[in-house]
A and B are shown apart, each in its own frame.
Chain A
């Protein structure tokens, strides 16, 4: 195969602007994008910087944007992604580039993973002979344990392009892994921390992460698992964002009471009187358009008492 690789080149220390450079490559059928990069480094420019290690899709080291979509270079076949004989290779988005295709993984991943305190905080001292965990107890976290920190879920994340501080699905998957570890005894404290701004409540649950994860970990569902656990343990927000807990409580209270959502009440109870000044013009605009649901004037749905009973049973169980 004769192709053109368009490769992102940038050396921030040289003060030049980033640019896509074109390189001709000649590859056998079945070659990967990593093969192409290695050839460019051998034949055209020994200074091309990129990361790769295992070359087999096991280590998650070579995450790049290939033809505008996040992929591992070592398992992405050129023939499958080339468009009109071209392959574009760039670093992942929204990240500081150190040189060419090498970006600051510390900023993308490690600092965020450190924020979730990815170490066990056991409830009891380690027993003699170590912990013995029945297989079934480890089953729910086994998939998450296979995460190799490729960062593809963060690359596809809907929030990070708007807010680089967001902890992101990779770190939250790690958080899931420790919160649900049967040896860990700090779920409540952890969930409080994860509930603060930049944590799990900042996730828009758009399911992009599920689509991007090559390990089938379904990070969005793991974030839902964390949130559900937080609700179960009564830690529905951090300290800096109490409106998140008020939102949950108001939502649940109105569905519990009438079977469906009282949106007017939800707005009022979530924001309280503190933002009344700000909310009033919006409310006025909505009122004029006949859009404002009047809080608390909310008819019960037929059969609402059965919905209430569902809430009661779940609460009793937890």
Chain B
């Protein structure tokens, strides 16, 4: 199956380590990706829906024009924002028609409502299959204690789960399929604080400190997230959060494709693990000792 690939802005901006890691992992697993290069930022929950719904309808129409109905993201926020827009456009044909008429027609585009938005995480479990993933693992991450951190938008609101409540456990399932150990903690489904980094930095940093601190105290050696915006806050904000709290945290935060990539046998360099703010050296060393 081919997927329209929507990499999002951050995977090549603030988290430039994510895009190449995802492409390498997808290549190794043989996911047929066709990157959409001529589409816009989905609005990330910042832009008003008056603007972002037409932008997203355009993205979906572009995928359809290439004969693709499955759209893969590598970001929880992209998934939630585009998935939410998609629901509105699919559920209300009159709304979709209005957007087609007002915004897309002059580019000779029209969204027919056939696209499904899927995070790489969902795609791996639902389409690719964990057994196949297990079979691709070259270096089981034995003994590595990993805490999952989802990012709000691939868990809530309910509609995003499309009737599959197990989506709230997929990260744990993938961590285990890679041979690593899940270090569960209460904050895994909570907000990372990134959305209020501008409006209320103290609240944002307090959330970072609470979640990374809790995972660390439970024994996690690293955290894995399918959301680069969570990554920006949990990794990039961690030194500030630790300072505000007056403690050291030092919990490396890995992107989902990086964790998968390590298990597939890619090196820390190939996955750009040095591009993180919180050093990932200990994780890289531990993994490099595994065969």
Contacts and interface: CB of A to CB of B under 8 A. Distances in A.
Contact of A202 (B199, B207, B272): B199
Interface stretch (A46-54, A82-90, A156-164): A156-164
Contacts of B58: 306-307, 310
A252 to B, nearest CB: 6
Nearest to A262: B13
A242 to B, nearest CB: 11
A245 to B, nearest CB: 10
Interface in A269-318: 270, 282, 285-286, 289-291, 293, 301-304, 306-307, 309-311, 313-314, 317-318
Given A306-B58, A311-B51, A314-B51, A204 B191 contact: yes
Contact of B157 (A210, A290, A318): A210
A211 B198 CA distance: 25
Contacts of B40: 255, 259-260, 301, 304, 307, 310
Interface stretch (B22-30, B134-142, B273-281): B273-281
A301 B38 contact: yes
A283 to B, nearest CB: 11
Most buried by A among B17, B152, B210, B272: B152
Interface string B100-127: 0011001100000000000000000000
A243 interface: yes
Nearest to A298: B13
B172 to A, nearest CB: 20
A158 B199 contact: no
B203 A159 contact: yes
A251 B39 contact: no
A248 B50 CA distance: 14
Interface stretch (B41-49, B213-221, B246-254): B41-49
Interface in B178-200: 190-191, 193, 195-196, 198-200
B15 interface: yes
B265 interface: no
Most buried by B among A203, A206, A314: A206
Nearest to B239: A285
* Interface size grouping (class) on chain A: 35 or more
Contacts of B102: 313
Interface residues of B, number: 54
A303 B109 CA distance: 13
B33 interface: no
B14 A291 contact: yes
A163 B50 contact: no
B46 A251 contact: yes
B203 A206 contact: no
B159 to A, nearest CB: 9
A228 B157 contact: no
B2 interface: no
A293 B275 CA distance: 13
Most buried by A among B14, B41, B190: B41
B13 to A, nearest CB: 4
Contacts of B240: 282
Contacts of A286: 236, 277
Contacts of B257: none
B283 interface: no
B284 interface: no
A291 B277 contact: yes
B16 A290 contact: yes
B158 interface: yes
Nearest to A244: B199
Contacts of A255: 40-41, 43, 47, 55
Given A159-B196, A162-B207, A303-B38, A206 B50 contact: no
A301 B42 CA distance: 13
A166 B195 CA distance: 15
A307 B10 CA distance: 18
A314 B275 contact: no
B118 to A, nearest CB: 19
B208 to A, nearest CB: 11
Given A207-B152, A307-B55, A259 B41 contact: yes
Nearest to A202: B200
Contacts of B13: 261-264, 293
Given A260-B9, A289-B276, A310 B103 contact: yes
Contacts of A218: 157
Nearest to B199: A201
Interface string A232-244: 1000000001011
Contacts of B193: 204
B54 interface: yes
Given A163-B203, A228-B48, A247-B46, A206 B158 contact: no
Contacts of A8: none
A266 to B, nearest CB: 9
B55 A310 contact: yes
10 contacts: A207-B153, A208-B152, A210-B156, A224-B49, A232-B50, A282-B240, A285-B239, A291-B275, A301-B39, A304-B40
Given A259-B41, A285-B277, A291-B15, 16 more contacts: A159-B196, A163-B202, A197-B200, A210-B158, A228-B49, A244-B198, A252-B47, A252-B51, A261-B9, A261-B41, A263-B14, A286-B236, A289-B275, A291-B14, A310-B54, A313-B102
